[in-house]
Amino acid sequence: MSENIEKVECLIIGSGPAGYTAAIYAARADMKPVLYEGMQPGGQLTITTDVENYPGYPDGIMGPEMMENFKKQAVRLGTDVRFGMVTKVDFSKGAPHTVWVDDKHQIEAESVIISTGASAKWLGIESETRLNGSGVSACAVCDGFFYRGMDVAIVGAGDTAAEEASYLSKICNKVYMIVRRDEMRASKAMQHRVMNTPNIEILFNSETDEVLGDMEVEGVRIVNNQTQEKSELAVKGFFVAIGHTPNTAIFKDFIDMDDQGYIITKPDTAKTNVEGVFACGDAQDKIYRQAVTAAGTGCMAALDAERYLSAKGHS
Ligand code: NDP
């Protein structure tokens, strides 16, 4: 099993706005960054449509195109971007830290920047799992197309659910929003948008009892949590938009995290509890979770890593 162990000065794990911004700064600082893209190259923005709130794009930009631009900029400045998934780490013995890619390729990294982002949460009911990919989806932008002209339902009441409902309303005949409380968490602007879209119907105080169908989604049974009354919606698509979980499980034996798995960074820095390991983006941010804040913390992580390496005489 022994193969050459690669030595890397700055290893970046993850390819969203945080990872690529860290790469841009690290490359310009001559840290020869190697970036592993992970399972979803480009991160969550690759499953978004219009991004209207990233400064510098007065007419907005499509998420995938923006991430392609991030990547091009990082590569042009000298980042070694690789397709692969970091599957295991050992941060127990101090720098250089050991990292395994795809369970085999071993790297000794003088500094590590974690920018692994977050993934969609699921309701956790049996029918949702069974029909995943057969009408159940956590990405309206990826899968909405399949339900053109049909009726669909979406669970959730945050900005993601509202944004996706709005997107689906343009493709589908009718969109039911299943909201568990009597109000929505989404911003006022997004609430206003969905409430004023004629083919979106918001079902408050409603929870999903079961997704109906054997081989594919044929409907959803919901229950009103005030009256316990059950009813069925005849929908072909069932979208789940109830938030995210940070992709940090592989670090949990070494890195301090909160009870939800978000990495804890030292105040005003991107430093973790382990020397030479830095974290940025959604893996450590449960409050803002924006592309622009992720990019900002990516910059912080690279600057902190650069100072750390210089202090150790590396750069
Ligand atoms: P949020 O955590 O903000 O919202 C999750 C929603 O899902 C809540 O309404 C929650 O209900 C509901 N929910 C959670 N668990 C369940 C469950 N088991 N059953 C039913 N409903 C459930 O996540 P989002 O992904 O919407 O947003 C994350 C962050 O990203 C937010 O800060 C948001 O503002 C931001 N964002 C910004 C956008 C933009 O600016 N363009 C676009 C998208 C997201 P409850 O309210 O009852 O807790």
Q: Tens digit of pLDDT for each residue in 110-139?
A: 999 999 999 889 999 999 999 988 999 988
Spatial distance between the Cα atoms of 260 and 244, rounded to a whole number of angstroms: 10
Spatial distance between the Cα atoms of 38 and 142, rounded to a whole number of angstroms: 19
Dihedrals φ, ψ of 90, to 5°?
-135, 105
For residue range 250-262, list pLDDT tens digits in order. 999 999 999 999 9
Centre of ligand 1 from the C-alpha of residue 98, in Å:
35
Our answer on whether the CB atom of 192 is closer than 6 Å to any ligand 1 atom is no
Res 290: pLDDT: 87
Q: Mind listing the domains of the chain with CATH numbers? A: 2-119+245-311 (3.50.50.60), 122-240 (3.50.50.60)
Listed residue (167, 190, 168, 35) closest to 99, CA to CA: 35
Under the banding of pLDDT at 50, 70 and 90, the label for residue 48 is low
> Above 50 in pLDDT, residue 198?
yes
**Comparison of pLDDT for 48 and 39, the residue scoring more:** 39
For residue range 156-171, list pLDDT tens digits in order. 999 989 999 999 999 9
Our answer on whether the CB atom of 50 is closer than 6 Å to any ligand 1 atom is no
Mean pLDDT of 55-82: 96
Cα–Cα separations (whole angstroms), residue 219 to 136, 152, 227, 235, 237: 11, 9, 21, 4, 8
Our answer on whether the CB atom of 166 is closer than 6 Å to any ligand 1 atom is no
* Contacts of residue 111, Cβ cutoff 8 Å, sequence gap at least 6: 9, 10, 11, 31, 95, 276, 277, 278, 305, 308, 309
Centre of ligand 1 from the C-alpha of residue 20, in Å:
25
> Above 60 in pLDDT, residue 2?
no
What six digits make up the tokens of 311?
């202090």
For residue range 101-113, list pLDDT tens digits in order. 999 999 999 999 9
Under the banding of pLDDT at 50, 70 and 90, the label for residue 209 is very high
Res 1: pLDDT: 45
Q: How far is CA 247 from the centre of its chain?
A: 8
The pTM score is: 0.77
> Above 80 in pLDDT, residue 47?
no
Contact between 115 and 26 under an 8 Å Cβ cutoff? The reply is: no
Q: What is the dihedral of CA 144, 243, 87, 260, to 10 degrees?
A: -170
Q: Whose CA is nearest to atom 3 of ligand 1?
A: 158
